[in-house]
Structure 1
């Protein structure tokens, strides 16, 4: 499938943005049952209207709602499916400690962890994303609706965390059966969003990047799990979710965002370059664009981009969203040109041709979780402006 640069745009952001203080207070009050859903929505509506204005002010063409209606970046899908159950206090032994963020959390927390497990037959009964999209749609011009970016949870989110404990064995005999029903639910969700006018989605998936982390691979092998076979099964899951793209979602742009964790207080969870997964990641998953973390050495070099095929685009996450210090514009430009040269060398292209398959962004969102990173709103705005400035310095019509 050929990728059309419409969207992403030359200057991108990754969906989540810092919440204003009044929204944080409102959500905390709501979680304590001190605020009604209607009252919370009023605060959300105002905050989203303001953040849309900010995105337009700094020059972004692709617009998100900042994930302001979510507590966590992965909210919005699994909790609306029949067959999934929220577990407020889950036994620690059902978690896979080799998963980088799981290990960090469970070692720090003394109280029982919460999670969501598949306890019955999976069925799509309600779209959690549609109300978010419709509300954002009302804030932009009709011509801009196609540019709205909606971020989605990774389909394997709970499976990697729980492995064989992720689903009830009396319902699903094996992973493939379980994944088939998850994929069917995603296909329904995507069709609903497409019918509403959504043309730009981004799967947020730090888990695939974890397969670059040697400690996780070692931990999986120690427990008898084959990392490569599991990675292959996740590729099949993605492609099953996107099975009907050509016929039912013909002009929907599908992106895949990989990072190494972006928790409150600017924490990351894993390290390791894309080298080990690049060939399969870039050539076997049926998406158009990859949003890749490249703000620090923990993501490795640009060499894996040699394996990015000509019909796909990369958004280089060169500017960190974790800390306020501004990157040097000229240094960022050099990195973009370096990436393009490497891409060209792997595809028998000129650097100029490869450069047409490159965009720029922060390395991740500014608030993957409600609390956000160690930056202020002003810091965030300056970072966003730098992304736009970087794009315009390379592609003047960005």
Structure 2
């Protein structure tokens, strides 16, 4: 499957942007019931208008709302499905402690304050993403709607963390039944969003990159969990979620190694361990890959990327304010094109046409954001655009 539309653009960003202080303060006031939702919404709209202005000024054309209506990047799907329930102060025993972020929290004596579990049959009753999309549509020109990019939660998000504890045994007899209903809910979600005009969707999934982390794989082996079989099942889940999607709906998959508050990451390891399956088995059009530090490994896995798919290289870090050298970044893009060409037999020029560039992750996967300021973020996004223009004159 290849792209029918313009996304991804040569210069991309990954969805979340730093929130202005007034929006963070308003969110706290809303959570404390000090202001109404309507009052919060006014400030959200103001912040999103400013975010759109920023994206236009630096030359980013795939518009997002910065995820300003969310607390965490994965908000908006499971919390709107019938059958899921938010659980406060969950027991540690229901978590899979080999999962890198869970392991990191527990190592620092941070007990999870809450989670979301399936306690009843899963049904899609309303879209949590649709109001976000419709609100953003109202703030752009009609001809720009096709350029809106909406970020979505990974379908296996709660399962990797909880395994058999992700759903009540009395509700589902096994994980296949559970996954089947999640997939049906995602198909319905995409139908709703497509009907509203969405043509560019991005799944945010750090969990697949965890399958590159040796400590997790070792931990799974120790408890008798077959990591390869589970990865295969997650790939099937993705394909079931995307079954029947329209050809003109571009879908991307973003992998990183954690981008928690204050620039923390959770895992390391190159894409080598999952590259063949990742690039050839999952029915998405493009991959947004973290490549800003050595923890992501080399470009060698890109030799497995087929000719009909695109990669967005996350070469610019979103974690720290120091600016990368555009010349060095350009050399890395050329290096990636050389690897891709060697894998497919195409020319390096042809491989270069299947590459775009971006920051390694969003700037605020968590509402508190990373260790850089608004002006730093602007410079980072401008650097991404400058890099793209230096390689593709029409970027």
Q: Report TM bin, short chain.
A: over 0.9
Give the secondary-structure state (helix, strand or coil) at the position aligned to 1:372.
Answer: coil
Q: Scaled by the length of structure 1, what TM-score is found?
A: 0.98
Name the structure 2 match of 1:313: 310
Q: CA deviation at 1:112?
A: 5.5
RMSD: 0.9
Q: Quote the residue 1:41 is aligned against.
A: 41
SS of equivalent residue, structure 2 residue 13: coil
Equivalent position SS for 1:169: coil
- TM-score, normalised relative to structure 2: 0.99
Q: Using the TM superposition, give the Cα deviation of residue 104 of structure 1 relative to its aligned residue in structure 2, in angstroms.
A: 1.3
Q: CA deviation at 1:355?
A: 0.2
Q: Deviations over 1:21-74 (max 9, x none)?
A: 000001111111212111111110100011011100110111000000000000
Deviations 1:248-275 (CA, angstroms, capped at 9, x unpaired): x220000000000001110000000000
1:113 Cα deviation after fit: 2.5
Match of 1:376 among 363, 366, 373: 373
Q: How does 1:286-325 map to 2 (within 5 A)?
A: 286-325=283-322
Q: Which residue of 1 aligns with 2:394?
A: 397
How far, CA to CA, are the matches of 1:330 and 1:111 in structure 2? 44
Structure-2 separation of matches of 1:59 and 1:69: 23
Q: For residues 322-366 of structure 1, what are the alpha-carbon distances to aligned partners after superposition, in whole Å with 9 as ceiling and x for unaligned?
A: 000000000000000000000000001000000000000000000
- For residues 227-261 of structure 1, the C-alpha deviation after alignment (integer angstroms, 9 at most, x for no partner) is 0000000000000000112xxx2200000000000
What corresponds to 2:12 in structure 1?
12
Alignment of 1:84-99 (within 5 A): 84-99=84-99
Q: Is the 8 A contact 1:59 1:388 kept in 2?
A: yes
Matches of 1:5 and 1:191 in 2, distance apart?
18
Contact 1:2 1:311 in 2 (8 A): yes
The alignment of Structure 1 onto Structure 2 pairs a total of residues equal to 395
Alignment of 1:19-168 (within 5 A): 19-110=19-110, 113-168=113-168
Using the alignment, how far apart are the partners of 2:273 and 2:96 within structure 1? 22
Shift of 1:171: 1.2
Give, in whole Å, the separation in 2 of the partners of 1:187 and 1:133: 17
Query: Which position in structure 1 is the counterpart of 2:327?
Result: 330
Structure 1, unaligned stretches of length 5 or more?
none
Q: Does 2:183 correspond to 1:183?
A: yes
Q: Could you say if the C-alpha distance between residues 317 and 5 of structure 1 is closer, same or farther in structure 2, counting changes exceeding 3 Å?
A: farther
Provide the C-alpha distance between the structure 2 equivalents of 1:42 and 1:98, rounded to a whole number of angstroms. Answer: 42
1:367 to 2:353 alignment: no
Q: How does 1:227-242 map to 2 (within 5 A)?
A: 227-242=227-242
Is the CA contact 2:14–2:358 (under 8 Å) kept in the aligned structure 1?
A: yes
Hey, what does 1:213 align to over in structure 2?
Answer: 213
Distance (whole Å) between structure 2 residues aligned to residue 23 and residue 289 of structure 1: 32
| Equivalent position to 1:276, from 263, 273, 276 | 273
Separation in 2 of the partners of 1:229 and 1:62? 35
- Secondary structure of 2:254 counterpart: strand
Secondary structure at 1:349 match in 2: coil
Shift of the 69–109 alpha-carbon distance from structure 1 to 2, 3 Å rule, reads farther
Distance in 1 (alpha carbons) for counterparts of 2:360 and 2:390:
19
- The answer to whether the aligner puts 1:285 opposite 2:273 as a matched pair is no
For 1:364 and 1:126, the matched residues in 2 are separated by 28
Distance 2:106 2:177 in 1: 29
Distance in 1 (CA, whole Å) between partners of 2:389 and 2:63 is 18
| Counterpart Cα distance in 1 of 2:242 and 2:11 | 26
Contact 1:92/1:113 (CA < 8 Å) preserved in 2?
no
Deviation at 1:2, TM superposition (A): 2.1
Cα shift at 1:139: 1.0
Q: d(CA) in 1 for partners of 2:291 and 2:143?
A: 32
